[in-house]
Each structure stands twice: as structure tokens, then as C-alpha cells.
Amino acid sequence: MGDDIEELLLERGVVVSYESVRNGCDRFGAMYACQVKAAQPRPGTTRHLDELFVKLRGKPYVLLQKRRDKTAARRFFGKRLR
């Protein structure tokens, strides 16, 4: 990874050593990764499917569900996949 950064900076006219790139990655890499991870939305454990757009035999369909439960979702997808 350090070699890639060194080459990118060299293309832009900035001369740095591999060691300085490695030190920068060690110093700021973990902090940057934590900030990126914190900015990502946290997915919930429950997913609800109210509306689905699908193409069956080349024709678009909008499928709406009245109920939100696992049994209904399995039945719904089972029918569509057959």
C-alpha cells in the first residue's frame, strides 16, 4: 500500500520516502478507519418489504404486501421464484 501512495504522490511532483508514507499510515490510518466506520449507517436487524418492482417474462410489475412477517415474505418469494 505504501508503494502505491508513494507512486501517486511522485506523479504529482511530491517526493516522499516509503518510510514517511508508512509512518503516516500508522499514525492516521486507524483514526481515519474509525471515522469512516462511524459515518456509515447502522443497519437494523429487521427488514420490511412493502413494495417490490420485478420483471416477469419481460413485463414490469409492482408487488405490494399488506402484511410484514417472515411467513408472508417466504410465501411471496416462493411463488415468484417458481
57 with 77, same domain: the answer is yes
The mean pLDDT of the chain is 77
- Quick one: pLDDT at residue 6? 78
- Examine the domain organization and report whether 7 and 34 are in the same domain: yes
Residues 6+ apart with CB under 8 A from 19: none
Enter the DSSP assignment of 44: P
How far is Cα 82 from Cα 69, in angstroms, rounded to an integer?
A: 20
The SS3 of residue 47 is coil
Residue 2 reports pLDDT greater than 70:
no
**pLDDT attached to residue 76:** 74
Digit-coded pLDDT (tens) for 60-77: 877 666 656 677 777 877
* Helix boundaries (H) for 40-61: none
Residue 32 domain-assigned?
A: yes
- Number of domains making up the chain: 2
C-alpha gyration radius of the chain = 25
Q: Which tens digit of pLDDT belongs to each residue from 26-60?
A: 888 888 888 888 887 777 666 666 667 777 788 88
Query: Quick one: average pLDDT of 10-31?
Result: 85
Task: Tell me whether residue 45 is in a domain.
Answer: no
Structural domain range at position 73: 51-81
* Residue 32 sits in the same domain as residue 58: no
